[in-house]
Amino acid sequence: MMSTVFAQDSDFDGQIRVYSQPPTYSKTSGRLFIVGKKGQAPGMLPGIMKIQSAEYVCSAMRPDQYPRDGKPEIAFAGRSNVGKSSLMNALLRRKNLAKTSGTPGKTQTINFFEVNRAFYFVDLPGYGYAKVPKAVKANWNAAMSAYLRGRKPLKLVVQLLDLRHDPSDKDIAMIALLAECKIPTLLVATKADKLGRGERAANLAKLRKRFDLGEDGLIIPTSAETGEGLPLVWDVIDDCLFSSPS
């Protein structure tokens, strides 16, 4: 088993903790969504992963263009403009590795970023941009379904939802596809900094109900602006990368 180096907190202070025993999330129960750890409230968790390197590797339309080294992959999905690039950049502590809001809906390729020479972050093409022509949507469907259905190194999909809005039909279809493909899924609610306390609690409760998360199902409010939620997201990612049977 690999041990992973964490920074102590989101403002890395030079102290490093090494966990020989990574935290465990139960994804073995046959449920789609990642389940929280018992007795551990969000905010009490280890810090974010120390990023030694993060590099763009390639963009792919077809499976023969994916990396072939078998390193594990964490993919990010969500409608365009939900904050996917921002979240990936924030997790990797890079300003502009994954491009933020260029032309929405333009990127139809699956983009691979290698992290710490150990695993990949995979930027899945955003969906739900109205102005995209039909042919491009068909490409999107083909590319997405090819990746999700057949990708062995894929350990987790981080599914982004905008905390300010109800999930769209496309979000619901995306989550149904993940369920159909039996891919462990972490729900993340983005742009938490844009909401006041009451609205935020109400919207989280709505999402929990909408996706039937029960008591222990995890949905993590995040902000790429303030760094909220990022340690917990890293904690789940780390667990899926290095302590799951493959």
The number of residues that bind ligand GDP (CB under 6 A) is 19
CA distance 63 to 232: 31
Contact with ligand GDP (CB under 6 A): which of 22, 36, 72, 83?
83
x/- track of binding to ligand GDP for residues 209-238 (CB under 6 A): --------------xxx-------------
Nearest approach, Cβ of residue 57 and ligand GDP (Å):
18
Indicate whether 85 belongs to the interface with Mg ion (CB under 5 A). yes
The number of residues that bind Mg ion (CB under 5 A) is 2
Give yes or no for a contact between 3 and 16, defined as CB atoms under 8 angstroms apart.
no
Q: What are phi and psi of 133, to 5 degrees?
A: -65, 155
Structure tokens at 79: 């409608």
Q: Which does 111 bind (CB under 5 to 8 A by kind): Mg ion, ligand GDP, none?
A: none
Indicate whether 155 belongs to the interface with ligand GDP (CB under 6 A). no
Structure tokens at 220: 């993590």
Q: Which residues contact 70 (CB under 8 A, 6 or more apart)?
A: 152, 153
Nearest approach, Cβ of residue 24 and ligand GDP (Å):
28
Name which of 7 and 54 has its Cβ closer to Mg ion. 54
Question: How would DSSP label each residue in 59-75?
Answer: EESSGGGS--S---EEE
Indicate whether 4 belongs to the interface with Mg ion (CB under 5 A). no
Structure tokens at 171: 């979000």
Considering only 29-37, 83-91, 137-145, 151-159, which stretch makes contact with ligand GDP by CB under 6 A?
83-91
Nearest approach, Cβ of residue 212 and ligand GDP (Å):
25
Residues numbered 108-147 forming contacts with ligand GDP, rule: CB under 6 A: 126
Question: How would DSSP label each residue in 134-177?
Answer: HHHHHHHHHHHHHHHHH-TTEEEEEEEEETTSPPPHHHHHHHHH
Nearest approach, Cβ of residue 11 and ligand GDP (Å):
17
Bridge-based pairing of strands 110-115 and 54-60 is antiparallel
Sign of the Cα pseudo-torsion (175, 178, 184, 188, in order): negative
Nearest approach, Cβ of residue 129 and ligand GDP (Å):
9
Bridge-based pairing of strands 185-190 and 73-77 is unpaired
Nearest approach, Cβ of residue 162 and ligand GDP (Å):
9
Q: Which does 180 bind (CB under 5 to 8 A by kind): Mg ion, ligand GDP, none?
A: none
Residues that bind ligand GDP in the complex, under the rule CB under 6 A: 78, 80-86, 100-101, 104, 126, 190-191, 193-194, 223-225
Residues that bind Mg ion in the complex, under the rule CB under 5 A: 84-85
